[in-house]
A = this chain, B = another copy of it.
Amino acid sequence: MRTTDLLTVGELSERSGVAASALRFYEGEGLIDATRTSGNQRRYQRGVLRRLAFIRAAQNVGLSLDEISAALATLPEGRTPTRTDWTRLSRTWRDRLDEQIAALRKLRDGLDSCIGCGCLSLQRCAVSNPSDVAAQDGAGARYLPRPLRAAPPSRR
């Protein structure tokens, strides 16, 4: 095993928990980048680990890779992002999470009243018809995280 400050895909995959195929995919999407050896193999700087942490965190908050990509694009070029840079990026998550929690609470409370009546009316029931929760036009909670279901068999 080499002992450089640069990481191979395998090493980065192991340390980050992100599959090597996903790392290549992310590179294609411009989310991370790598230098190449003379033999064309990828080598990653350690900073990529933090970038991956950001990506995973953002996904868990419900952002799409496109949105994450846009967020990462606001990082300063040229210099290594500081703690403050990362903090700025993640500050908006707080609001989004609050919105999500509020939306779920609304759903739950609607359910509580539904369970008593068994209504499930398409017109009136907050559970079957939460359009006020994920508003089509106005402000409000539009985002809920992607499913954090039991890890699919292929993902560790």
The interface of chain A, by Cβ under 8 A from chain B, is: 15-17, 49-50, 52-54, 56-57, 60-62, 82-84, 86-87, 90-91, 93-94, 97-98, 100-101, 103-105, 107-108, 111-112, 114-115, 117-118, 120-122, 125, 127-130, 133-134, 136, 141-151
List chain B residues, Cβ under 8 A from A145.
104, 144-145, 147
Given contacts A100-B104, A134-B151, 15 further A-B contacts (CB under 8 A): A16-B122, A54-B120, A60-B128, A60-B130, A86-B118, A87-B118, A90-B115, A93-B127, A101-B101, A130-B148, A134-B149, A136-B151, A143-B149, A144-B145, A144-B147
User: Nearest B residue to A51 by beta-carbon distance?
Assistant: B120
In the complex, the answer to whether B86 meets A120 with C-beta atoms within 8 Å is yes
- B52, B90, B111, B144: the one contacting A122 at CB < 8 Å is B52
List chain B residues, Cβ under 8 A from A94.
108, 111-112, 115
Looking at A62, A148, A150, the one whose CB has the most chain B CB atoms below 10 A away is A148
CA distance A112 to B82 in the complex (A): 18
List chain B residues, Cβ under 8 A from A84.
118
